[in-house]
């Protein structure tokens, strides 16, 4: 029997979420709904100072006046914001000194994900700050970092312990009124990470955080703030997996990066949240605002591998404020079944001699829709600005969609802006060629997809690249019968 496009597609559709299990950890969950009282209660629960409570309340006021955006190329049933619980923390909450004290069931969950803490600890040079349902439960390698003066902790801790730094930078890159989800996040963010790299310090290890969503009906509102002081360097990894759920889960994170003069931030994400089942039921809504600011000679690189979520709405961006600053965006977005992704970047060139690179790889299968949306803006005073954009789409089957929405605004004649785009399909002849060399269809698809994504995978730190490759395979392989 011929191996047709249709069969290939069918195989891809049968791929079930591999990490579809739910960890039964007792949680302390707020009643559903959002009001000033809830905002105050969250702030209180987190033992925050008054300025923070006020900041949240102001955000709540702004949010109440805003409407959900509708311009993205996605359709979904809007969440009922009064039917969401805005705070959830694992019950056994004390800080742990060693892994032995961590809830064994939680450790088991991580083992099933193949990212056991034991391994993580042994993985030389990787400090892991795990965020499970909004509260950090384990922090490692903290001492080594402290010796260099690096602060790496939960944002809650940072608000209490490093209030001045947080106050100075929080909301400066993504203001509360920036967009609907950013305002919501500002009002109710439960936890997240904070990182400060002092002047001239090169962070000796990859900083990494694993996020998970684990409580039925709990929205996840992470807040990340990362500051690289002058002439410093940091590489930050963020990886996510989540248990299978029936109802939609809302995730609206905000990430702010500040790269001061001559500093460099590498921010890598592997995202694998539950994408819904093959009928398109359930799955995470991922509405994220990520943005970084570059001062003179500073550089920010965003690298993302997006394989999960039912709906993704995400545009990690760079404001190239300083002269000679550099922004980079490397992205792989995979959609299968009924997943929808509208993702891309914004490169805002304000300073002179600023440079940006955009490499976007979209892979669509099943009945999914995969959109790239990117803005390249060259302001009038950005002399000699340079941008190169490349958007490649790979299609599998004939029922998915790939879309590209490039926006280019140039107000300075000296700018050089390039945009390249390709669309291709995995061909039966490619599959047969691999089969003939002894490579089965599943492996062949993985090989072709990895080849297609190579330019971006190469940008990830080594151990993350391997994990990302696995994820690509998981997301696209079918159980070949």
Partner 1 sequence: MLKITNLHAGIEAKEILKGINLEIKAGEVHAIMGPNGSGKSTLSAVIAGNENFEVTEGTISLEGEDLEECSPEERAHKGIFLSFQHPVEIPGVSVTNFIKTAINESRKAQGLEDMPAKEMLKEIREKSDLLEIDRKFLSRSLNEGFSGGEKKRNEIFQMAMLNPKLAILDETDSGLDIDALRIVANGVNKLKSEKNAVIVITHYQRLLDHIVPDFVHVLFNGKIVKSGTKELALELEQKGYDWIKKETTV
What residues line the site for partner 1 (CB under 8 A)? 1-3, 427-430, 432-441, 443, 447-448, 450-455
| Residues 6+ away with beta carbon under 8 Å from 80 | none
187 φ, ψ (degrees, to nearest 5): -75, -40
Of the pair 21, 432, the CB lying nearest partner 1 is at 432
Of the pair 417, 434, the CB lying nearest partner 1 is at 434
Of the pair 383, 442, the CB lying nearest partner 1 is at 442
272 CB-side CA count, 13 A: 22
Strands (E), 104-205: 126-132, 135-139, 151-154, 193-197
Instruction: Please state the closest distance from residue 270 (CB atom) to partner 1, in A.
Output: 19
Q: Cβ(227)–Cβ(196) under 8 Å?
A: yes
Of the pair 125, 451, the CB lying nearest partner 1 is at 451
Instruction: Please state the closest distance from residue 433 (CB atom) to partner 1, in A.
Output: 5
Structure tokens of 457?
A: 């995978």
Instruction: Please state the closest distance from residue 185 (CB atom) to partner 1, in A.
Output: 36
| Residues 6+ away with beta carbon under 8 Å from 122 | none
Structure tokens of 413?
A: 């004649």
Of the pair 97, 462, the CB lying nearest partner 1 is at 462
Instruction: Please state the closest distance from residue 396 (CB atom) to partner 1, in A.
Output: 15
Of the pair 7, 323, the CB lying nearest partner 1 is at 7
Which helix (H) or strand (E) segment holds residue 428: the answer is helix 428-436
Instruction: Please state the closest distance from residue 423 (CB atom) to partner 1, in A.
Output: 13
| Strand duo 88-90 + 27-29: pairing | antiparallel
Q: Cβ(345)–Cβ(302) under 8 Å?
A: yes
Tell me whether residue 401 is exposed, middle or buried, using C-beta atoms within 10 angstroms of its C-beta: 0 to 12, 13 to 18, 19 or more: middle
Instruction: Please state the closest distance from residue 69 (CB atom) to partner 1, in A.
Output: 35
Of the pair 24, 429, the CB lying nearest partner 1 is at 429
- Computed on alpha carbons and rounded to an integer, the radius of gyration of the chain in Å comes to 22
Instruction: Please state the closest distance from residue 220 (CB atom) to partner 1, in A.
Output: 34
Of the pair 348, 431, the CB lying nearest partner 1 is at 431
Name the residue among 24, 39, 137 with its Cα closest to residue 87: 39
Instruction: Please state the closest distance from residue 463 (CB atom) to partner 1, in A.
Output: 19
Strands in 206-212's sheet, in edge-to-edge order, are 135-139, 126-132, 206-212, 233-241, 264-272, 299-306, 326-335, 355-364, 386-395, 416-425
| Cα angle for residues 396, 400, 404 (degrees, 5° grid) | 100
């Amino acid at each position: 029997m011929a191996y047709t496009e249709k069969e290939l597609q069918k195989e891809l559709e049968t791929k079930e979420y591999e990490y579809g299990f739910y960890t039964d950890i007792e949680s302390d969950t707020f009643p559903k709904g959002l009001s000033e009282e809830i905002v105050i209660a969250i702030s209180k629960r987190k033992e925050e100072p008054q300025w923070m409570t006020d900041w949240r309340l102001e955000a709540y006021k702004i949010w109440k006046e805003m409407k959900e955006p509708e311009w993205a190329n996605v359709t979904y049933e809007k969440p009922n914001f009064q039917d969401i619980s805005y705070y959830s923390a694992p019950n056994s909450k004390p800080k742990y000194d060693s892994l032995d004290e961590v809830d064994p069931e939680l450790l088991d969950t991580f083992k099933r994900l193949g990212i056991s803490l034991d391994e993580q600890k042994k993985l030389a040079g990787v400090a892991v700050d795990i965020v499970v349902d909004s509260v950090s439960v384990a922090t490692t390698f903290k001492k080594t970092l402290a010796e260099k003066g690096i602060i790496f902790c939960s944002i809650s801790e940072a608000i209490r312990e490093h209030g001045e730094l947080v106050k100075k930078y929080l909301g400066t890159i993504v203001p509360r009124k920036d967009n609907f989800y950013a305002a919501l996040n500002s009002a109710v963010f439960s936890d997240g990470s904070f990182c400060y790299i002092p002047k001239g310090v090169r962070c000796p290890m990859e900083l990494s955080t694993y996020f998970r969503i684990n409580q039925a009906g709990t929205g996840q509102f992470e807040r990340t703030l990362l500051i690289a002081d002058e002439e410093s360097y940091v590489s930050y990894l963020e990886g996510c997996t989540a248990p299978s759920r029936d109802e939609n889960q809302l995730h609206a994170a905000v990430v702010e990066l500040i790269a001061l003069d001559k500093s460099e931030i590498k921010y890598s994400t592997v995202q694998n949240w539950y994408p819904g089942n093959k009928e398109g039921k359930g799955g995470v809504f991922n509405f994220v605002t990520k943005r970084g600011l570059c001062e003179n000679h500073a550089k920010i690189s965003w690298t993302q591998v997006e394989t999960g979520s039912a709906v993704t709405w995400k545009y990690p961006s760079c404001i190239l404020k300083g002269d000679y600053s550099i922004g980079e965006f490397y992205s792989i977005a995979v959609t299968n079944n009924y997943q929808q992704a509208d993702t891309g970047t914004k490169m805002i060139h304000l300073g002179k001699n600023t440079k940006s690179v955009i490499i976007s790889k979209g892979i669509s299968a099943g009945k999914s829709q995969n959109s790239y949306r990117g803005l390249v803006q060259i302001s009038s005073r950005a002399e000699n600005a340079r941008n190169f954009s490349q958007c490649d789409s790979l299609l599998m089957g004939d029922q998915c969609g790939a879309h590209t929405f490039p926006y280019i605004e140039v107000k300075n004649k000296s700018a050089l802006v390039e945009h390249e785009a390709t669309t291709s399909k995995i061909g039966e002849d490619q599959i047969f060629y691999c089969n003939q060399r002894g490579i089965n269809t599943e492996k062949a698809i993985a090989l072709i997809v990895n080849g297609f994504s190579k330019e971006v995978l190469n940008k990830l730190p080594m151990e993350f690249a391997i994990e990302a490759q696995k994820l690509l395979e998981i997301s696209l392989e079918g159980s070949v019968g």
